[in-house]
Amino acid sequence: MENNINLYEWYDAATAAAIISRNSNKQIDTDYVRKLAQYGKIRKVKINNRASLYWKEDVDRYRVKDRGVKSGEASRKRAEKKEKEAA
C-alpha cells in the first residue's frame, strides 16, 4: 500500500460503527467493526499500535443481517449446556 493515505477514503472505527449501525438498523460497536476487518469483510489499514482506518466503500456497503432462528436456538442451547456443566 502507498505511504500516503487519502483520509477521504477511510473511516475511523467510531464512524464506521455509526455508518454500519445506520445502514443495518441496529446498534453496532467498534469492536464489531474490528472483528469484521479481522475476518476480511472490510479492508483496514493500521495507522499505529492503537488505531486503524476502515475502507469507506466496504463500510458503506456492509449490512448486518438478522440472526436466523437456527442461530439463536444454537446459542441458547450452548448457553444452557454451559450452565449445566457449571452446576
pLDDT tops 80 at residue 1: no
pLDDT tops 60 at residue 45: yes
* Greater model confidence, 2 or 59: 59
* Greater model confidence, 67 or 45: 45
* Greater model confidence, 17 or 83: 17
The reported pLDDT for the residue numbered 70 is: 65
Q: What are the structural domain ranges in the chain?
A: 7-86
Report how far residue 33's alpha carbon sits from residue 18's, in angstroms, rounded to the nearest whole number. Answer: 10
Q: Provide CB contacts within 8 A for 45, sequence distance 6+.
A: 1, 5, 10, 52, 53, 55
